Amino acid sequence: MIKKYLIAVCILMAVVFPVISWGQSVSGKVVDCANNQPIQGVLVRIIKANNGATTDKGGVYQIHHLEAGSWEIEFSCLGMKTVTKTVKFDRDTPLTLHVCMENAVTDLGEVVVAARHERKELKNAREQGVPVSVIDGKMLAGRGTSITEVINHQTGVKVRRTGSVGSDTKVNVRGLEGNRVQIYIDGQALNSPDGSFSINDIPLQFIDRIEIYKGIVPPEFGGDGLGSAINIVTIDAEESFYDLWYGISSYNTHESSITYKHWLPKSQIMLSAMYGFGYAGNNYKMQSPYVEGLTIKRDHDRFRKHLGEVSIDFRGTYFDEFEIGVPFYVNDRQIQGIKTNIQKAQTSGWMTGAELTLEKDGFLTPKLDMKFSGLARFSGTHLNDTSSYLYNFDGSQIPNTYRGEIGSIPNLSDDKLKDYRYTLNFKYNLRPGTKLNFNNDFRFVSTEFNDTVADNYRKTQNSGLKADVINVISSINLEQRLWERLYLLLTARNYYNRVKGATVDLTYGAGNSEVVHADESRLSWGGSIAAKYDFAQHWLLKFAFEHNYRLPRSEELLGDRLWITSNTQLRPEQANNLNLGVMYNNQYNNFSRLQFEGNIYTMHITDMIMMRTASGFMANYNIGKAHLYGADAEVKWDIDRNWFVMLNATYQKTIDKTRYLPGTNTPSVTYDMQMPHIPIFFLNWSLDYRKDNLFGGKGQYNRFYYEGGYTDKYYFGYKLAANQSYVIPSSCIHTAGIEYAMMDRRLLFSLECHNLFDTKELTNLNYPLAGRTFQAKVRITTLKW
Amino acid sequence: MKKVFFYLPMLFVALTFVACDDDNPVEETTTGKAQLVLACDMGVLGSDVSYLIPVTENEMNGATAALNRAHEVYSSARVAALNDWLFSFSGMDKAVISRYQRQDDGTLVKDASLELSTHAGAMVANVIFISDTKAYASLMIENKIVVFNPTTMTKTKEIDLAKAELSCDGQATPNPMGMVLRDGKVFVGCGEYADMPISNDGAHVIVIDEATDTPEKFISDMRASTASFWENEMFVDDRGDIYINCWASYGFVPGQKAGFLRIKKGETDFDTDYFFNFTDMTIAGVEGGKLTNFYSTQYAADGIAYGVCSCPALFTGDFLNDHFLYALKIDLYNQTLSPLSLPLTSAYATAVSKKGNEILFGLSTASQGAGVFSYNHQTGQASSSPIINAPGSVMSMAVFE
């Protein structure tokens, strides 16, 4: 229907416009003064004439129907300084006017956003050669939902949860999840041992954009992710602001934060302070998947957190950015039982540290740009599981064999972790269109195990054991633009991994556990090539190939000294990823844009690290091989200034390529089969209506949105038998919400309902989710969004 | 054109044969009821499920167990047979017993289930049948025995074993596991776990009067440790004596001894004159001469039993790839162990059962396949390859005689 409409309009325009065309025209090209590159999406406005246009991919604009006379033409674009020219038209001669624009440094409020066009940051992120989905953070600023819920509506992404707020959450990207999907915040890898910070702890209003990389991890991130990564880019406001918000959600969930950022002009310092807290009761009811007819009210699922940060940004120094920050984070979480009625066990964690960010364009030499981000982070996690009784859902209790509700022994752990890391990037502009990048990513993680209660119970002396894991990933890449249309990115990458220290071998039972001193290191080489080609107006082709590695995490190498034994011989997982994509992006008038993106991919993974049982304990092994392939596509349409629609679809297969039953020469029956418990097909769609001053007045913003998602059923096990019992059923979840802001968006109210029809929702077998929930949010802010 | 008309029908016929041809030859020759049901766990493949796979007589010839007739259940499932019924219970998930009826076409049809406890983590360890209308199910974590009617699939009563006097350390957690019925008494082996699989020292058994379903006594023998595990690890020989496999915390606790203890016919106490202590023996024919514990056992006849036992000299610490368990003949009367001419297995598949004179071993071997191997108790002939190939780890078997 939409297509027919577009075609009809095009025909109409082609037939009618030559007939009724009148007046004069002005055209030209808009480029970036710094590098002479064309700028797409610049609003070119004839002031006082209600006429204008936006520049296309080549930076070209055209405006027709101008009467003779003197006119002011304004060129504006987010991130660039507005340019105003006075020109004079005569009746007979079309005017050509080329303009160059400079980067804006401060106060983007000078830019009058009279048209909706894509911000440069989003555009640049989307038009990389690697397959990536980019979510504009400005569309999230008013919502009361979570980051994981937002990314759950993207192509190739499914979020799987075991419960509600604070529950274990895994992001599945193209069939890969857990440690295989690297999460970054502002390009810095997120290290998340139990109890530590998660991406859902970032308030949505402070997100500038979310980048989801599928198949290839950009070299500047430095880290490993087996081809999938999510980068949360936070807003780097250039001006003072304060922000206070409070949100309330179903099942006794409360969240709030206050942020204050203050610019001291004399000392050229930006001071920032943020404090936030969250509380979730998570006390929804669910049907037990284990006991017929049993309804369980989750009464031991409370989650609490406090977080904050103080930072100082020194401006006016040699560095363009020189920021020091000190974050802190504390949480505690009760553990909700589903199979059994856990009533006592809980975890808690804390984190603090220091972060340093340095950036300088023209570092030591005008052609060299430098970025450095480093952090020292200290964290602790605690498990309190010492109950002498087990509890039933009928309220009764029985003596506890294991002296702990979730493990086979009592635990009162106090594990500590020290995390030192940095990312250093140098970008050298060899010549226009050619850049050389060097990236070095260093991580040193030191863990210390402490659990004297477990030690006493088992008669071991493992408390105090320390071990270190060092990962260094270095890359060098060449960015080259050829013939204006072709962009190439060639990368060579080196992976170094070392594990050193004391861990525990549980193979012969906890009582016989041996302290093992390990010192193992490995070196691997990878590389990638990414390309994009502007093969026609509005069209872009992408190609990317990468050979990469995912280094084993410290917990995989070292175990947990309790139930997961160590395996310091683990090799990195490795993958070969290939992606082909096509993009279409046409801003065909001031407020209308049609975008399409489609990708197909294939990925071969070997040495997959998988956990297996081992006589009462668990161990990690390199035993898996898989072939992943699929396709995804998305259409986004800004119909006009008010309406926006989106539709995307993903089809992904994750095929087992482990040829033999592990430990035998028996051909595996699951060879070439879809691997279990991984979504295969899903759709997402959304409809958005935005209008300023819908009810009259001024300085108001209204938004109504609806989004839906369908996930086709998938199986818990391999689909081998005729009588297959365990299925994650297909689901169709609808969400709707409204936002209302006033006082030029300084005061915001929002209301959202997730899962409108209370559809039964499962993303992990036997972990029922909450069903319909409501969120309400109020926010006071001077941050422009 | 004539040639086309000539060849087309031939092509059609050929295609018909090809289309009807089945990669699994079992499909064409399957007849009769299943004689054996495998509980095949897929955990080694990364899937937390088991399959109950019915096997007919004519499939025990090197065929691959037919998954297309299988039932998917939770992982670590165990099975037991009674008359025409198969009973399945998951060791780790759900305290539920499901019943399946054997069909003439070799399939199983689920016809009933019984929830033994609302405590889903109760862990049903073993089921024994007193009669067609009475059975005992031991719930290891919940420390009780559920008495139920296997015909009507209804619960009759519960026998609470969570009593201080029924545990060796007064903690009221005896952890009932394998059971055996003899002369109106049910003997219940107790795990007495400190930190599973680590048990407290000693072998401990609860004696229950079957007529009244009442625990009568709690007996202990400190010469060995950890009395019984799953099915067939407590058994009655031809003389009416009970033998108990004691697996001593998998050999993880120095000082705990593995072996067999005996309760003589007519007695309800351990026979102090008998302790088949193989921990301290040197066994010929096994690497390093030492064995640690039996993972499973099955009585045959004449004081001969069979089992799968671990050999520490073959174990490097890699559970996935180490094949360190022998299939052995156990001479209970002469207290000897002899390795059979069967391949070594990993710890993932250690099931043992008996069908007529054939002792069936569920094994996962390095180079001779994974599935059910056989050993003839009379002739001593062992299969060199699986008589039934299995898609995963055979953890339990139910035989219909």
Are residues A91 and A24 in contact, defined by beta-carbon separation less than 8 angstroms?
Answer: yes
pLDDT at residue A78, as a whole number: 66
User: pLDDT > 70: what percent of chain A?
Assistant: 92
Q: Does B195 contact A623 at a Cβ distance shorter than 8 Å?
A: no
**Would the CB atoms of B46 and A340 count as touching at under 8 Å?**
no
What pLDDT band is residue A192 in, cutting at 50, 70 and 90? Answer: low
> Could you give the dihedral angle defined by the CA atoms of residues A551, A554, A560 and A563, in that order, rounded to the nearest 10 degrees?
10
Residues of B in contact with A716 (CB under 8 A): 47-49
Contacts of A288 in chain B (CB under 8 A): 120
Q: What are the tens digits of pLDDT across the range B269-310? A: 999 999 999 999 999 999 999 999 999 999 999 999 999 999
With a cut of 70, say whether residue B27 has pLDDT above it.
no
Residue A222's identity, in one-letter code, is: G
Place of tokens 């250690």: B350
Q: Please name the residue ranges forming H helices in A587-639.
A: none
CA-nearest of A128, A57, A122 to A477 is A128
Specify whether the CB–CB gap between A314 and A323 falls below 8 A. yes
Q: pLDDT at position A95, please?
A: 84
Pairwise CB contact (< 8 Å): A402 & B45: no
**Distance between CA A641 and CA A593 in Å, rounded?**
10
Q: Do A717 and B120 touch (CB under 8 A)?
A: no
Residues in A touching B369 (Cβ below 8 Å): 664-666
B143-177 pLDDT, tens digit each: 999 999 999 999 999 999 999 999 888 888 999 99
**In the predicted structure, residue A514 carries a pLDDT above the cut 80:** no
DSSP-assigned states of every residue in A345-361: -EEEEEEEEEEEEEEEE
Percent of chain A with pLDDT over 90: 49
Q: Going by C-beta distance under 8 Å and a sequence separation of 6 or more, which residues neighbour residue B388? A: B36, B38, B55, B59, B60, B62, B63, B64, B65, B371, B372
The set of residues, in sequence order, having a beta carbon less than 8 Å from that of B274 and lying 6+ positions away, is B260, B261, B262
DSSP string for A63-82: EEEEPSEEEEEEEE-TTB--
Q: Which of A617, A669, A725 to mutate to test the interface with B (most CBs of B within 10 A)?
A: A669
Q: Which helix (H) or strand (E) holds A5?
A: helix A2-20
User: Of A294, A341, A509, which has the smallest distance from its Cβ to B252's Cβ?
Assistant: A509
A399 vs B321: CB contact, 8 Å cut-off?
Answer: no
Residues of chain A numbered 701-740 and touching chain B (CB < 8 Å): 716-718, 720-726
Average pLDDT over chain B reads 90
Name which of A341, A408, A717 is nearest B196 (Cβ-Cβ). A408
Q: Which range has the worst mean pLDDT, A246-250, A513-517, B282-286, B360-364? A: A513-517
- Residue A162: CB partners within 8 Å, gap ≥ 6? A168, A169, A764, A767
| Candidates B46, B64, B250; nearest CB to A509 | B250
pLDDT of residue A236: 82
| E strand map for B42-153 | 49-56, 63-64, 71-74, 77-82, 85-90, 96-102, 108-115, 124-131, 134-139, 144-149
Give A175 to chain B, closest Cα distance, Å: 15
- Extract the tokens encoding A74: 């304004």
Structure confidence at residue A510 (pLDDT): 60
Tell me if B323 and A663 make a contact (CB, 8 A cut-off): yes
Distance of CA A629 to the CA centre of its chain: 21
Q: How confident is the model at residue A511 (pLDDT cuts 50, 70, 90)?
A: low
Phi-psi region of A419 (alpha: psi -120 to 50; beta: other; left: phi over 0): beta
Could A720 and B143 be called an inter-chain contact, meaning their C-beta atoms sit closer than 8 Å? no
Confidence of residue A118 (pLDDT cuts 50, 70, 90): low
> Are B260 and B235 spatial neighbours (Cβ–Cβ below 8 Å)?
no
Specify the DSSP element, H or E, that contains A629: strand A617-638
- Geometric angle at alpha carbon A141, from A140 and A144, rounded to 5°: 75
B117 touches B142 (CB < 8 A): yes
Optimal mutation site among B50, B117, B118, B325, interface A, most CBs of chain A within 10 A: B118
Identify which has the larger pLDDT, A697 or B314.
B314
CB-based contact B175:B191 (threshold 8 Å): yes
Plot region of B28 (φ>0 → left; ψ -120 to 50 → alpha; else → beta): alpha
Q: Which two tokens stand for residue A340?
A: 């059994």
Burial B277-286 (b: 16+ CB within 10 A, else e): ebbeeebeeb
Please give the pLDDT value at position A196. 53
Between strands B242-246 and B234-236, the pairing is: antiparallel
Residue of B nearest to A506 (CA): B317
Average pLDDT over residues A49-54: 73
The string of pLDDT tens digits covering residues A263-300 is: 988 888 999 999 999 999 999 999 998 888 999 999 99
Closest partner residue to A723 (CB to CB) among B70, B74, B172 is: B70
Cβ partners under 8 Å of residue A481, min gap 6: A433, A434, A487, A488
CA-closest candidate to residue B397, choices B360, B343, B356: B360
**Are B321 and A392 a contacting pair at CB < 8 A?**
no
B45, B72, B115 ranked by CB distance to A724: nearest: B72
> CB of A671 within 8 Å of any CB in chain B?
no
Residue A290 to residue B72, Cβ atoms within 8 A = no
Least confident residue range of A211-220, A492-501, B349-358: A211-220
Q: Are B121 and A339 in contact (CB under 8 A)?
A: yes
Average pLDDT score, chain A: 86
On the question of pLDDT at B319 being above 90, the answer is no
Q: Which residue of B has its CA nearest to A727?
A: B72
Interface test with B, best of A723, A724, A726 (most B CBs within 10 A): A723
Dist CA B345 CA B362 (whole Å): 9
Are B366 and A505 an interchain contact pair (Cβ–Cβ within 8 Å)? Answer: no
Interchain contact, B364 vs A663, CB within 8 Å: yes
- Rounded to two decimals, the ipTM of the complex is 0.84
Largest CA distance in chain A: 98
Residue A325 has pLDDT above 90, yes or no: yes
How much is the pLDDT for B398? 96
What phi, psi does B155 have (nearest 5°)? -80, 140
Q: What is the mean pLDDT of residues B85-108?
A: 90
**pLDDT tens digit string along B225-267?**
999 989 999 999 999 999 999 999 988 888 999 999 999 999 9
Q: Which is more confidently placed, A681 or A289?
A: A681
The token pair that represents A190 in the structure block = 């997120």
**Nearest residue on chain A to B144, judged by CA atoms?**
A398
**Hey, which residues 353-412 in chain A have their CB within 8 Å of chain B?**
390, 392-394, 398-402, 408-409
pLDDT beyond 80 at A205: yes
- Identify which has the larger pLDDT, B230 or A78: B230
DSSP letters spanning B237-306: -TTS-EEEEE-GGGGTSTT---EEEEE-TT-SS--TT-EEE-TT---TTSGGG----EEEEEEEETTEEE
Residues of chain B with C-beta less than 8 angstroms from the C-beta of A290: 93-94, 120
- pLDDT value at A57 more than 70: no
Instruction: Give the span between the Cα atoms of A563 and A555, in whole angstroms.
Output: 12
How close does chain A come to B41, measured CA to CA in Å?
11
Q: What is the pLDDT of residue A260?
A: 95
Q: For residue range B199-233, what is the model confidence (pLDDT) as tens digits? A: 999 999 999 999 999 999 999 999 999 999 899 99
Query: What Rg, from alpha-carbon coordinates, does chain A have?
Result: 28
Q: What is the mean pLDDT of residues A196-202?
A: 73
Lowest mean pLDDT among A229-243, A736-750, B363-377: A229-243
Are B94 and B79 contacting, i.e. CB atoms less than 8 angstroms apart? no
As a whole number, mean pLDDT of residues B125-134 equals 96
DSSP A640-706: SSSEEEEEEEEEEEEEE---B-TTSSSBPTTTTSBPTT---EEEEEEEEEEEETTTSSSS-EEEEEE
- Which residue bears the tokens 């004449």? B302
Q: Which residues of B touch A724 (CB under 8 A)?
A: 72
- pTM of the prediction? 0.83
When pLDDT is averaged across residues A341-356 and rounded to a whole number, the result is 94
CA distances from A86 to A70, A80, B231 (A): 7, 19, 94
Taking only the tens place, the pLDDT of each residue in B364-384 is 999 999 999 999 999 999 999
Measured between beta carbons, which residues in chain B are less than 8 angstroms from residue A624?
46
Task: Give the residue, B326 or A125, on which the prediction is more confident.
Answer: B326
Higher-confidence residue of A86 and B299: namely B299
One-letter-per-residue 3-state SS of A78-119 = CCECCEEEEEEECCCCCEECCEEECECCCCHHHCCCCCCCCC
pLDDT on residue A223: 67
Cβ contact, residue pair B348, A663, below 8 Å:
yes
Task: State the CB neighbour count (10 A cutoff) for residue B377.
Answer: 18
pLDDT tens for each residue of A137-159? 888 877 878 888 899 999 999 99
User: In this structure, are residues B40 and B14 in contact, taking their beta carbons and an 8 Å threshold?
Assistant: no
Distance of CA A90 to the CA centre of its chain: 53
What are the two backbone dihedrals, phi and then psi, of residue A431, each rounded to the nearest 5 degrees?
-165, 170
Distances (CA, A) of B368 to A568, B140, B395: 30, 35, 18
pLDDT number for residue A117: 58
Q: Which CATH class is domain B9-399?
A: mainly beta
Of A195-209, B120-134, B367-381, give the lowest mean pLDDT range.
A195-209
With a cut of 90, say whether residue A779 has pLDDT above it: yes
- Is pLDDT of A18 > 90? no
Q: What is the dihedral of CA A410, A411, A412, A416, to 10 degrees?
A: 160
Residues of A in contact with B365 (CB under 8 A): 664-665
- Residue A575 to residue A604: CA distance in whole angstroms: 5
CB atoms within 10 A of CB B182: 18
Mapped onto helix, strand or coil, the DSSP state of residue B24 is coil
For residue A415, what are the CA distances in angstroms to A381, A445, A455, A619, B49? 5, 13, 13, 20, 33
CB pairs < 8 Å spanning A and B: 187
Residue ranges of the domains in chain B? 9-399
Note whether A725 contacts B72, CB cutoff 8 Å.
Answer: yes
User: Considering chain B, what percentage of its residues have pLDDT values greater than 90?
Assistant: 77
How many CB atoms sit inside 10 A of residue B261's CB? Answer: 23
d(CA A368, CA A235): 25
Evaluate if residue A502 carries a pLDDT over 90: no
pLDDT over threshold 90, residue B355: yes
